[in-house]
Copies of this chain bind each other. A is one copy, B any other.
Amino acid sequence: MKPLSATPRTSLGRYPERSTPDRAALYDILDAGLICHLGIVVNGTPRVIPTCYGRLDDTLYVHGSTGASSMMTAPSQEVCVTVTHLDGLVLARSLFHHSINYRSAMVYGVPSPVTGDDEKRAALRVITEQLAPGQWDAARQPTRKELAGVAVLALPLDEASVKVRQGPPGDDDEDYALPVWAGVLPVRQAFGAPVPDPALTPGIPVPAHIAAR
Contacts and interface: CB of A to CB of B under 8 A. Distances in A.
A182 B210 contact: no
A191 B193 CA distance: 18
A211 to B, nearest CB: 9
B82 A50 contact: yes
Contact of A184 (B106, B184, B195): B195
Nearest to A108: B45
Contacts of A47: 9, 39, 46, 80, 106
A194 B188 contact: no
B182 A196 contact: yes
A42 B213 CA distance: 39
A17 interface: no
A181 B136 CA distance: 13
Copies of this chain, how many?
2
Contact of A210 (B40, B91, B138, B189): B91
B45 A48 contact: no
Contact of A95 (B124, B185, B188): B124
Contacts of A68: 13-14
Contacts of A78: 44-46
A14 B65 CA distance: 8
Contact of A168 (B106, B141, B197, B213): B197
Contacts of A205: 181
Judged by DSSP, the binding face of A is: mixed
Given A91-B139, A95-B141, A195 B181 contact: no
A136 B95 contact: yes
A181 B196 contact: yes
B200 A183 contact: yes
A49 interface: yes
A193 to B, nearest CB: 7
Given A47-B106, A140-B175, A188-B192, 17 more contacts: A9-B45, A35-B86, A35-B100, A40-B46, A41-B41, A45-B80, A48-B48, A49-B82, A91-B210, A94-B142, A98-B128, A98-B131, A139-B180, A179-B204, A185-B195, A185-B210, A188-B189
